[in-house]
Amino acid sequence: MRKNTQQSTTTSSTPASMADLLLTNPASPQPLSDCRLVDARTFKTGGEWQAVTYPAIATSGFTNAGNVSVAVIFVDFSDAFGTASELSEAIANIKNASAWYSWFSQGSVTYTLRIADRWVRAPKTSNNYYWLHPGKPGVQLQSSQEIADTYRSLATTVVDTSGITSVWVVTPKTATTIDEGFALRDKPSVFSTGGSTYSSMIPIWQHFVHETLHSHGALGHSPKNSQIGLFWNTGSAGATLNSWDAMTLGWMKQESVYCVAKENLTNQTITLVPIEREQVGLRSFIIKLSKYEALIIESHRKDKWSERWAVGTSGVSVMRVDTRIDTVWDQGSSTGKYLVPVRDHSLDFLKVGQTFTTDGIKVTLVKSGDNDQLLVEYSS
């Protein structure tokens, strides 16, 4: 339940410093590990390798603690040319991927991108690289292995491929016969853009980050809000990783989480930093409800990793995780669900003076400026 409160509230225009955040927030009463949940799904649609809770196990040569080397190549076709301006734009865009991984893994993973400096021509016309996503009807002219082998071979002609974990293939916008990005999770894995990348205006770097997150072992695709988090919606304008997925991957630090079991909760005032900003501080308030349920409270802002949000977008979200529920991409089933925002695919976050009550717990946004101050307590 969400409502406005009658209590006096103030809005601060003075940004809180990193030191202030670290000094004024209380220490987490319990270690981060206490807020992990057991995987209680009875059926796993995506298979055992796609985790909804810690620990996610990386596959196909990827790692959740260390370096990942990637060959980034630009492949055009005799019937779909790549241009110099498109190449320059793509090179600048793709570099965001390594910066994203560095921040959202909190330094656990680094990506070394070996980026080609020119287009390389595929031996066949573009329709030969059309890929059928599993479950999609149609005809594929080459096997997935043949497509992957061609891309790997082309990579050796333009970059050093020794020790790489993956090949990322950027195709030109004119290659519309390749309507969907290619994916083969092998070693090295191969991923490509497709016509839908451009028609849906998905930033190239987000496409590759989304695909490789699966190779890091997490299921993702939860909660289902197209504007928050690129692990649900590849092209999300809020290109973040929520705290639950970060915990699943082992990428949350103790100092970034306030963890408490519901039975140990006391009235607590906490200041959160927004997950869209690269700011040191408390990023998540997690309340463990049971061995398979938790509430995750986060702050949000239009910032570095949400530049396409409308000016002034801000507030607090409340997510409920239930690891008894499997996430299925093309159905309503989802391990995580946003209780706030209430409306599907909205950015209607909790605002100053508003409260939200669920599971016997009341969350009030007391003050909002550069960061968000919350009061979390038992509801009466």
Best CA proximity match to 244, nearest among 276, 219, 215: 219
pLDDT at 47: 87
pLDDT at 143: 95
pLDDT at 46: 85
pLDDT at 19: 45
- 243, 231 Cβ separation under 8 angstroms: no
Beta bridge partners of 260: 287
Residue-level length of the chain: 380
pLDDT at 331: 75
pLDDT at 380: 73
CA dist., res. 216 & res. 272, Å (int): 27
CA dist., res. 244 & res. 207, Å (int): 21
CA dist., res. 367 & res. 375, Å (int): 9
CA dist., res. 63 & res. 71, Å (int): 16
Alpha carbon 191 to its chain's center: 17
Beta bridge partners of 290: 293
CA dist., res. 86 & res. 208, Å (int): 17
pLDDT at 20: 66
DSSP state of 165: S
pLDDT at 1: 64
Amino acid occupying residue 260 = V
CA dist., res. 97 & res. 118, Å (int): 19
CA dist., res. 167 & res. 91, Å (int): 15
Beta strands in 102-261, from DSSP E residues, in sequence order: 109-121, 166-170, 183-184, 189-192, 257-261
Walk along the chain (380 residues) in steps of 10 and give the mean pLDDT of each run: 52 48 84 98 91 98 98 99 98 99 98 99 97 81 96 99 99 95 96 96 98 97 95 95 98 97 97 96 98 99 98 98 93 92 93 98 95 93
The dihedral region occupied by 60, where left means phi > 0, alpha psi between -120 and 50, and beta the remainder, is left
